[in-house]
Amino acid sequence: MSDPTVAQDLIHGGDEPTGAVTVTSTGRPRSLWRDTWDILRHRKIFWVSLVMLIAFLLMAAFPSLFTHKDPNYATLAHSMEPPSSDALFGYDLQGRDVFARTIYGARASIIVGVAATLLTVLLGGITGVLAAFYARWLDAIISRVGEIFLGVPYVLGGIIILGTIAPAQTSPNEFTIMAVVILVLAILGWPILMRIARSAVIQAKHQDYVQAARALGAGPFRIIFKHLLPNSLAPILVYSTITIGSYIGAEATFSLLGIGLRPPVISWGIAIADHTRYIRTGAHAMFFPAAFLSLCVLTFVMLGEAVRDALDPKLR
């Protein structure tokens, strides 16, 4: 019978020779979030999308920085005039400055995209974590309800709900219509996030450190907020960044169909909807808002991709 060879006795308070300790040049310990940042800041796509994001956010917050013209000032005499030195992007059907309206349109689109995503994350995140953590019948109910919502095609669901609450002929005020559109997007979108959160939490739940916390006597609140959430945040973060982009696109789709945002709100979707009929005589009135819309969606999708690459190198 062999006893394990006693390689060396412990030096009390000493360090193990095999220590694989990495320290940054500043001597600060590196968390996993810091590692993520290090990967991120070496990626060109991240910086490109970040610069574009800042530009769009500035547009949304301070449109007057980019243009001094009033987006609602209309001169019918200028109707559908092409771009010129006077008006960079030309004039629209009502004789309003397209550049000013495109700049001012960023605000509604981004507010809708970000707010709807936040609501989706909140709804989907809470239901997903609860479903995964308590499992059993609660999981069954939440998952089945989610599947019902997922079964409704996006545009069809939007037409039904928006067409009932805010039919195309009505003109609710700016705040109401934006709130309704945000709500509709979140209601139709939460199950996907619920599923992502649910699977991430189920994965984390079976890790040994959760068992260890339970063995210490940790309550459900501590386990969820200290152990499960920080370890399932990555996929939620990635998906929500990409979702902002797709919600901005979805908002434009609803506006195009006449059931989403509508005047007096200024948005890219409305501008596109108003000018689809004039595409052969005055494409500029539709092209510029459409280009900004695409760029904005692209920005968020690129940012999401960069974040995903950094958070989960395995997916690359």
Partner 1 sequence: MTAPAETILEVRDLVKHFPLTQGILVKRQIGAIKAVDGVSFDLHRGETLGVVGESGCGKSTLAKLLMALERPTSGSVKINGREIANARGGELKRMRRNIQMVMQDPYTSLNPRMTVGDIVGEPFEIHTDVVPKGGRRRKVQELLEVVGLNPDHINRYPHQFSGGQRQRIGIARGLALQPEIIICDEPVSALDVSIQAQVMNLLERLQTEFNLAYIFIAHDLSVVRHISDRVAVMYLGKIVEIGRDSEIYERPTHPYTQALLSAVPVPNPEGRETRERIILQGDPPSPANPPSGCHFRTRCWKAQAICAEQEPLLQIRSGSDHPSACHFAEALDVVNAQ
Q: Give CA separation, 211 vs 203, 219, 228, in Å.
A: 13, 12, 11
Judged by beta carbon, residue 297 or residue 311, the one nearer partner 1 is 311
> What minimum distance in Å lies between the beta carbon of 200 and partner 1?
13
> How many residues bind to partner 1 according to rule CB under 8 A?
44
**CA torsion angle 282 284 287 291 (round to 10):** 180
> What minimum distance in Å lies between the beta carbon of 316 and partner 1?
19
| 30 contact partners, CB below 8 Å, separation of at least 6 | 22, 23, 24
**According to the binding rule CB under 8 A, does residue 314 interact with partner 1?**
no
Judged by beta carbon, residue 9 or residue 85, the one nearer partner 1 is 9
**According to the binding rule CB under 8 A, does residue 85 interact with partner 1?**
no
**According to the binding rule CB under 8 A, does residue 151 interact with partner 1?**
no
**According to the binding rule CB under 8 A, does residue 144 interact with partner 1?**
no
**According to the binding rule CB under 8 A, does residue 284 interact with partner 1?**
no
Judged by beta carbon, residue 3 or residue 44, the one nearer partner 1 is 3
> What minimum distance in Å lies between the beta carbon of 11 and partner 1?
7
Indicate the length of the chain as a whole number.
316
Distance, in Å, from the CA atom of 312 to the CA atom of 39, rounded to the nearest integer, reads 10
Judged by beta carbon, residue 5 or residue 169, the one nearer partner 1 is 5
Which residues 205-234 are close enough to bind partner 1 by CB under 8 A? 207-209, 211-219, 222, 226-227, 230-231
Judged by beta carbon, residue 39 or residue 80, the one nearer partner 1 is 39
182: which 2 tokens? Answer: 């945000």
Distance, in Å, from the CA atom of 228 to the CA atom of 231, rounded to the nearest integer, reads 5
Judged by beta carbon, residue 77 or residue 216, the one nearer partner 1 is 216
From the CA atom positions of the chain, what is the Rg in Å? 26
Which residues 13-32 are close enough to bind partner 1 by CB under 8 A? 13-16, 18-23, 29-32
Cα-Cα-Cα-Cα dihedral sign, residues 205, 207, 208, 212: negative
Judged by beta carbon, residue 170 or residue 207, the one nearer partner 1 is 207
**According to the binding rule CB under 8 A, does residue 5 interact with partner 1?**
yes
Contact region for partner 1 (CB under 8 A) — 1-9, 82-90, 237-245, 274-282?
1-9
Among 295, 301, 289, 305, residue whose Cα is nearest residue 89: 289
| Side chain identity, residue 271 | A
**According to the binding rule CB under 8 A, does residue 9 interact with partner 1?**
yes
Among 242, 150, 157, 249, residue whose Cα is nearest residue 198: 150
259 and 166 in contact (C-beta within 8 Å)?
yes
Q: How many other β-carbons are positioned within 10 Å of the β-carbon of residue 300?
A: 27
Give the residues lining the site for partner 1 (CB under 8 A).
Answer: 1-16, 18-23, 29-33, 207-209, 211-219, 222, 226-227, 230-231
